[in-house]
């Protein structure tokens, strides 16, 4: 009986551990390809930055960038606002998370298309009025998408509603 209880406790703890959502830090190393002939790839990379540290916890997230323009973005779930800090500018600007000037026209999900940092990743393509957005994600790094239902800005919830994971 004792062995059966231990086995059930272990099985239950494995199920609960697997169901947890990702909270923590991700470091992205980015490359860009400009579609504007007046803006070189190098200039775009310098402006946006080639490194990003991204933190997520309890519905909030923060992004720190090393570009010459934007240095910080902070999303506060309780306010549904995305705050932005630009280099050389001493004020925080904010966007209403409920607004989105863009719209998603169609989505395509392809399973297991690549491996990134040891994670087998799916690809989600959003075809939008503004252009095509491609995201790669591992379902193992899940996010509680319900926390972001009101976050329409920049198609964030459109992405999360399909992927349910950190990009």
pLDDT tens, per residue, the chain with 167 residues: 444 333 333 333 333 444 589 999 999 999 988 989 999 999 999 998 999 999 999 999 999 999 999 889 999 999 999 999 998 888 999 999 999 999 999 999 999 999 999 999 999 999 999 999 999 999 999 999 999 999 999 999 999 999 999 99
Q: Where are the domains of the chain?
A: 22-96, 97-167
Q: In this predicted structure, what is the pLDDT of residue 19?
A: 58
C-alpha distances in Å from residue 51, one per residue of 63, 76, 93, 147: 10, 22, 22, 26
Is the dihedral angle over the CA atoms 99, 102, 108, 110 positive or is it negative?
Answer: negative
What's the CA angle centered on 40, arms 156 and 115, to 5 degrees?
50
Q: For residue 15, what is the enclosing H or E element?
A: helix 2-18
Q: What is the pTM of this model?
A: 0.81
Q: Are 87 and 158 in contact (CB under 8 A)?
A: no
């Amino acid at each position: 009986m004792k062995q059966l209880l231990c086995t059930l406790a272990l099985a239950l703890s494995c199920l609960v551990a697997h169901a947890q959502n990702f909270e923590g830090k991700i470091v992205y190393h980015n490359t860009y390809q400009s579609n504007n002939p007046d803006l070189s790839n190098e200039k775009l990379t310098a402006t946006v930055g080639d490194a990003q540290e991204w933190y997520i916890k309890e519905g909030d997230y923060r992004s720190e960038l090393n570009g010459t323009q934007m240095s910080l973005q902070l999303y506060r779930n309780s306010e549904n606002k995305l705050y932005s800090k630009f280099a050389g500018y001493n004020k925080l600007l904010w966007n209403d998370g409920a607004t989105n000037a863009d719209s998603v026209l169609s989505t395509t999900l392809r399973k297991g298309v690549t491996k990134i940092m040891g994670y087998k990743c799916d690809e989600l393509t959003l075809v939008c009025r503004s252009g095509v957005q491609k995201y790669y994600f591992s379902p193992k790094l899940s996010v509680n998408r319900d926390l972001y239902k009101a976050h329409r800005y920049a198609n964030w919830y459109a992405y999360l509603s399909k992927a349910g994971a950190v990009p």
